[in-house]
Amino acid sequence: NAGVMQNPRHLVRRRGQEARLRCSPMKGHSHVYWYRQLPEEGLKFMVYLQKENIIDESGMPKERFSAEFPKEGPSILRIQQVVRGDSAAYFCASSPGQGAGAKNIQYFGAGTRLSVL
């Protein structure tokens, strides 16, 4: 059973370009979460999605950032017009969803390391 898959693992963008980060949840998981980790810091929640719905985006910057989890395909975190401060590791996690009880655990991918030049 494959784990949470994120790609690319490393992404380099120049200021002003767009960054698209992809996340495929574990098989059977319907909930996806995006977190951001700055160097030497803990992870900060950004957005929580279920298929075709944003459940909680309270951690997402109001401008330039958007996320989706379509009916088919991976979840996408999009950052428009990147700035140097966007440089960080972005982690995706997935969980089974409602009704799974004690199995509702968030499993993390290996992350995408974004560098903005």
Partner 1 sequence: GENVEQHPSTLSVQEGDSAVIKCTYSDSASNYFPWYKQELGKGPQLIIDIRSNVGEKKDQRIAVTLNKTAKHFSLHITETQPEDSAVYFCAASETGNTPLVFGKGTRLSVIA
Residue ranges binding partner 1 (CB under 8 A): 4, 6, 31, 33, 35, 41-45, 48, 56, 58-59, 91, 95, 97-98, 102-111
Nearer to partner 1, 19 or 48 (CB): 48
In the complex with partner 1, the residue whose CB is nearer, 16 or 28, is: 28
Work out how close the CB of 15 gets to partner 1 at its nearest, in angstroms, rounded to a whole number.
Answer: 25
CA distance 23 to 75: 5
DSSP character at residue 104:
-
Neighbours of 3 (CB within 10 A): 14
For partner 1, the closer of residues 39 and 85 by Cβ is: 39
Smallest gap from residue 72 Cβ to partner 1 (A): 23
Q: HSE (CB half, 13 Å, CA atoms) of 19?
A: 30
